Homo-oligomer: A and B are copies of this chain.
Amino acid sequence: MALTPPCALPQALASLLPAELQTECTQLQGKRGDRLFTLHRKPAWMIFVASGEVVLQRLGIQGETVVVQRVRQGFVAEASLHSGSYHCEAVVMRAGDFFAIPIERLTQALVADPAFAMRWLVMVNQELRRLRAQCERLCLKTVKERLLHLIETEGTQGEARSLSLNGGLKSVASELGVSHEALYRSVAELVRQGVLLRSHGLLQISKPVQV
């Protein structure tokens, strides 16, 4: 994991953080497989993903991994603010740039700056809604339903509802809670049926259909 002191904060981060916190950010470069933090460690940094892809995953009893969050732009594990130890693991799936903010500074700023606290709260509320949508998705019974739900819910590339596959279909599969084989088969069949279009690492709904 490389360090790059001279920071150029992305717009999303610059408009959220108060000025005094922006100077506290440390830029990181991570490559595939890097751990941003690991289980059961006391959280010291809040990580913002500027580019690339990071998954937040939990480890089951048998060691199987469950993807709880895929982040391409935003914070990883916002809830770790008030947590004694990480409950999850953050792994880089696609190389990119990240910014680390000392949690202690962040907490101080939240108390001192009500406007910032409200912006932070809005962000956390968005994440809450995203997670509720994910629960709804995981309650769907078939792989096709889950996939279409994901594209309709999270796909916001340009006009059409679409989903980027840059992180690989496997990370999508574990986000959907299905085996990658089942996902490949469902994608193939939906493309065959003309429901989905696949091109340039992008998956999009070709026509409004309910399966």
> Chain A residues in contact with chain B, CB under 8 A?
56, 58, 60-61, 66, 68-69, 78-79, 81-83, 87-88, 110-112, 114-115, 117-118, 120-122, 124-129, 131-132, 134-136, 138-140, 174, 177, 210
Contact = CB atoms under 8 A, between A and B. Distances in A.
A129 B129 CA distance: 13
Contact of A117 (B61, B121, B177): B121
Contact of A118 (B56, B111, B127): B111
A53 B80 CA distance: 28
A68 B128 contact: no
A6 to B, nearest CB: 32
A179 to B, nearest CB: 9
Contact of A131 (B135, B140, B174): B135
Contact of A83 (B78, B79, B114, B125): B125
B139 A177 contact: yes
Contact of A66 (B56, B83, B111, B136): B136
A79 B132 contact: yes
Q: Classify the interface of chain A: helix, strand, loop or mixed.
A: helix
A120 to B, nearest CB: 7
Contact of A121 (B56, B87, B124, B131): B124
Contacts of A111: 114-115, 118
B125 A66 contact: no
B117 A81 contact: no
Nearest to A178: B139
In the complex, the 8 A-B pairs of residues with the closest C-beta atoms, listed nearest first: A138-B138, A79-B128, A139-B177, A131-B131, A79-B125, A66-B139, A117-B117, A68-B132
Contacts of A177: 138-139
A82 B136 contact: no
